[in-house]
Structure 1
Amino acid sequence: MATPTVVLLPVWAAGHLMSMLDAGKRLLARSGGALSLTVLVMQAPTEKDRSEVASHIRREEGSGLDIRFHHLPAVEPPRDYVGIEEFVSRFVQLHADHMKAAISALTCPVAAVVLDFFGTTLFDVCRELSVPAYVYFTANAASYALMLRLPALHEEVTAEFGEMEGMVDVPGLPPVPPSSLPLPVMDKKNPNYTWFVYHGRRFMEADGVIINTVAELEQSVLDAIADGRCTHGIPGPTVYPVGPVLSLPSSPRDEQPQPHECVRWLDAQPPASVVLLCFGSGGFFTATQAHEVAQGLERSGHRFLWVLRGPPAAGTLQPTDANLGELLPEGFLERTKDKGLVWPTKAPQKEILAHAAVGGFVTHGGWNSTLESLWFGVPMVPWPLYAEQHLNAFTLVAYMGTAVAMEVDRKRNNFVNASELERAVKALMDGDSDDGRKVRKKATEMKAACRKAVEEGGSSYSAVGRLSEDIRKGAVRVSE
């Protein structure tokens, strides 16, 4: 009989696509040849995204693993959307018929379908085909717990969350300030809020939820989910914490090509002396904010590597390479040339975080970046910009203890004053800072926990094994 396959349907964004693929490859390895992978590829809505997806696929096709890619027909993207959550949810929904046809045409048994968490509308297709449906959740367990809790919170909190009295109850977490909720949750009239509630409700229909987290990082949250405390006592789907799922270089540095210029600059810096500032694929600064950052860094006196991107071009969403002459204060680069490097385009974040010279990380707090920082034991200062990052910042500071808090003004588009950045960097990097000592110690503990989790016998290794066994039980042959 043909090897049963697990069908993956990822969203095209790199943080979703590559994370799901890497989790799929772990599942493939643990199955011992009992499973294969079939990846249904949606045609991304922009040429730039399509080019990046094609590059990722070429690399995976050359890996020699039992992974097949099936490109779905293009669909016309929605035009009348308010925000990214609504856009992605509706765009995925438009692929229902194409997904059904692709799965129906497979000649091997289908063990399961794994959907991105924006794809819960496609549960309906899985039910029509009588195929088990799993969700791959790229954010942390805290965000998943909030989304499970949100349908009930919607009824309990009649006002806008920003106007409510007291804290928000998310079981397993300390009381959450309303200001730490994800941006889409802050406006109940916004379609993005509606989609958050919708997905939170439909997660309960999944046969299982695979989360890119480590049990030891979020144990009380995972316990609350398992006990039904997020869902009025009703047990939710089985959760498989399989993280950290990271694409890390497989060969030692001395076997790799010429090191990146940022890495070569770090080679000349003392151990744990440099604070990295990097804000993900969507983070950028205006000149006004960049001036505040420059002043704060200069006054802190600490060494820094600042990956600075400029605002998107008109009609686009992606940051541009920074024009340093326009964004930075006059004379800043000259005054800081012995202590700092400003890099105006993309940089190899994982290689930088792995470097011994890096002692702290000012980050937007995206979950992939957070896991990378924890993997290398680098403490953080979160500067949330969008999506669920404000909740991530809260969990890093108040729950995990791996970050120094920084005041971010959400009403001013997440603005940070120079004095506040200076304070936070000093607290993070100064050797005699109590806050710095505490978060460095906690980050070191989390590094050990993350690495132990993926080793044989570790919590994530065992979760992948359970997932493999559960999926293999569900293999069915699908026909028109």
Structure 2
Amino acid sequence: MATPALVLLPEWGSGHLMSMLESCKRVLLSGGGGGKAFSITLLVVRPPTDEATSEVEAHVRREAASGLDIRFHRLPAVDPPAGDLGVEEFSALYLSLHAPHVRDAIAGMECPVAALVLDLFAATLVDEARDLGVPSYVFMSSTGAMLALMLHLPVLHERVTVEFDEVEGEIEVPGLPPVPPANMPCPVVDKKSPNYTWFVRLGDSFMDATGIIANTADALEPGPLAAIAEGRCVPGRPAPPVYPVGPVLSLGDRSPSHECVKWLDAQPPASVVFLCFGSMGWFDPPQVVEITAALERSGQRFLWVLRGPPSSETGAGSPDGSEHPTDANLDEILPEGFLERTKGRGMVWPKWAPQKDILAHPAVGGFVTHGGWNSVLESLWHGVPMAPWPLYAEQHLNAFELVADMGVAVPLKVDRKRDNFVDAAELEGTVKELMGGGEVGRKAREKAKQMMAVCREAVAEGGSSHAALQRLAQALHDGAAMPKK
């Protein structure tokens, strides 16, 4: 029998594409199912911007040279959906437009297909997999908490008839402590928006998948994962099996000679607070002024990755509605004299920085982060406590989980009605607490160290994620089938 293929349809963003690919490479390398191997066929969607296209092609070139059995099938281009669309609406709609091409690609394969693995935004394509007679798996690149919410969202849609921010009290999400309305994810805060409609639809589609692959671990998020397994998210309808195989991180390609890392080499252990806000994180001048005041008054050593505002060339106003920061002009964006006054104890870096290498450095003692899940996993892997500053997507829910459920973070009061604004006094106090100011910070630091051990034990041989990977490999082998023509 020919080697069965895992066919992957990721969203084009690096946090989605690489997380899915790294997870499925673990399946490929596991040799589960009696020692039989898999191959991987990655369906490459042409991204809506030139910058994203260049990034995807760089990933493709690197993986093609890896020596693993990974093949790349470029899907025909489709016209991006027009109109003023939110990021999530655009991603789901754009991927759904590729359905006929995905179907043709799978139907034309000459080997058995173990599964079609779908990005969460492509979950509606489970119907295509069913029609082709092949299993479908949704890859969840976000948290188990977000997965529980998405599965439960069609139920909440029927039960909660007002906007979530109009709810008196808190919102019940199975497996989580009661969630304040202010911590609900951005795509669901406006029930009149297409973003919300898509998320209800996607959550319903998850239930039709053969299984769900999640970049988390049982011991990392026991509450939400247990709620899903016990059928509490969709009463009366069992959820597909969830395979928590994480944390899945790409920890190779270290940058020890990077200027930021060399600066950290000269700092004492656990003395530096690291501020970094993801591939779409940037701040307007008034917020930059507040951050500088907070860092200056805190007296704390800091490494701050400060990006500049988007330009049309880097994606502002792009078809997918996303905005990609530019390299910052520090002379223009920082208050006069700030760099001189903090010289020796602070570094402001105006462009991309090797976040995973920085978090791994012993000089880093705390992380002020936007709370994207990949950043959170990197921080937990290295035992670094956090202060979450959510900006978009599901990050407000992540922030709540990190503080209220995992206990690995110090809370930061974010004014969501003012575009997630944080004033200087709030940030100053949080940084001091995070880096050693009091009981809350001490507990977060201790819990982060515990979670570092949890993460590493989960993926080690005999750990819960290793066992989930073996179960997944066996299920994929058992379900492999020739697609219908």
TM range (shorter): over 0.9
Structure 2 residue 341 is matched with structure 1 residue 338: no
Q: Secondary structure at the match of 1:121?
A: helix
Q: Which moved more, 1:31-40 or 1:91-100?
A: 31-40
Which residue of the partner structure matches residue 132 of structure 2? 129
CA–CA distance in structure 2, aligned partners of residues 479 and 393 of structure 1: 44
- Which of the numbers 320, 330, 336 marks the counterpart of 1:324? 330
1:439-480 Cα distance to aligned partner (Å, 9 max, x none)? 010000000000011110001111010000001011111242
Which residue of the partner structure matches residue 259 of structure 2? 261
TM-score by length of 1: 0.97
Q: Deviation of residue 34 (structure 1)?
A: 2.4
- Which of the numbers 377, 381, 386 marks the counterpart of 1:380? 386
Which residue of the partner structure matches residue 376 of structure 2? 370
C-alpha RMSD of the superposition: 1.1
1:174-206 Cα distance to aligned partner (Å, 9 max, x none)? 100010000111100010010111111111101
Q: Deviation of residue 14 (structure 1)?
A: 0.2
Q: Deviation of residue 417 (structure 1)?
A: 0.1
Q: Secondary structure at the match of 2:366?
A: strand
Which residue of the partner structure matches residue 19 of structure 1? 19
Is 2:133–2:484's contact at 8 Å kept on the other side of the alignment? no
Q: Which amino acid aligns with 1:68?
A: R
Q: Identity, % of aligned pairs?
A: 62
Q: Secondary structure at the match of 1:74?
A: coil
Q: Deviation of residue 82 (structure 1)?
A: 2.3
Q: Secondary structure at the match of 1:205?
A: coil
Which residue of the partner structure matches residue 427 of structure 1? 433
Is 2:308–2:328's contact at 8 Å kept on the other side of the alignment? yes
CA–CA distance in structure 1, aligned partners of residues 58 and 181 of structure 2: 40
Structure 2 residue 342 is matched with structure 1 residue 347: no
1:422-453 Cα distance to aligned partner (Å, 9 max, x none)? 000000002x5111110010000000000011
Structure 2 residue 9 is matched with structure 1 residue 9: yes
CA–CA distance in structure 1, aligned partners of residues 414 and 55 of structure 2: 32
- Which of the numbers 210, 214, 239 marks the counterpart of 1:211? 214
Which residue of the partner structure matches residue 320 of structure 2? none
- Which of the numbers 71, 96, 99 marks the counterpart of 2:99? 96
- Which of the numbers 179, 184, 195 marks the counterpart of 2:182? 179
Q: Which runs of 5+ in 2 are unaligned?
A: 318-322
CA–CA distance in structure 1, aligned partners of residues 285 and 332 of structure 2: 7
Q: Which amino acid aligns with 1:90?
A: L
Q: Deviation of residue 263 (structure 1)?
A: 0.1
Is 2:142–2:373's contact at 8 Å kept on the other side of the alignment? yes
Structure 2 residue 442 is matched with structure 1 residue 437: yes
CA–CA distance in structure 2, aligned partners of residues 90 and 175 of structure 1: 31
Q: Deviation of residue 33 (structure 1)?
A: 4.2
Structure 2 residue 35 is matched with structure 1 residue 29: no
CA–CA distance in structure 1, aligned partners of residues 75 and 84 of structure 2: 23
- Which of the numbers 231, 235, 239 marks the counterpart of 2:238? 235
Q: Secondary structure at the match of 2:368?
A: strand
Which residue of the partner structure matches residue 277 of structure 1? 275
CA–CA distance in structure 2, aligned partners of residues 454 and 25 of structure 1: 14
CA–CA distance in structure 2, aligned partners of residues 287 and 200 of structure 1: 38
Q: Deviation of residue 209 (structure 1)?
A: 0.4
Is 2:384–2:449's contact at 8 Å kept on the other side of the alignment? yes
1:259-315 Cα distance to aligned partner (Å, 9 max, x none)? 100000000000000000000000001111000000001111100000001111144
Aligned length: 474
Q: Which moved more, 1:355-364 or 1:67-76?
A: 67-76
Which residue of the partner structure matches residue 397 of structure 1? 403
Q: Which amino acid aligns with 1:50?
A: T
Which residue of the partner structure matches residue 68 of structure 2? 65
Q: Which runs of 5+ in 1 are unaligned?
A: none
Is 1:214–1:460's contact at 8 Å kept on the other side of the alignment? yes
Structure 2 residue 110 is matched with structure 1 residue 107: yes
Structure 2 residue 164 is matched with structure 1 residue 161: yes
Which residue of the partner structure matches residue 478 of structure 1? 483
TM-score by length of 2: 0.96
Q: Deviation of residue 120 (structure 1)?
A: 1.6
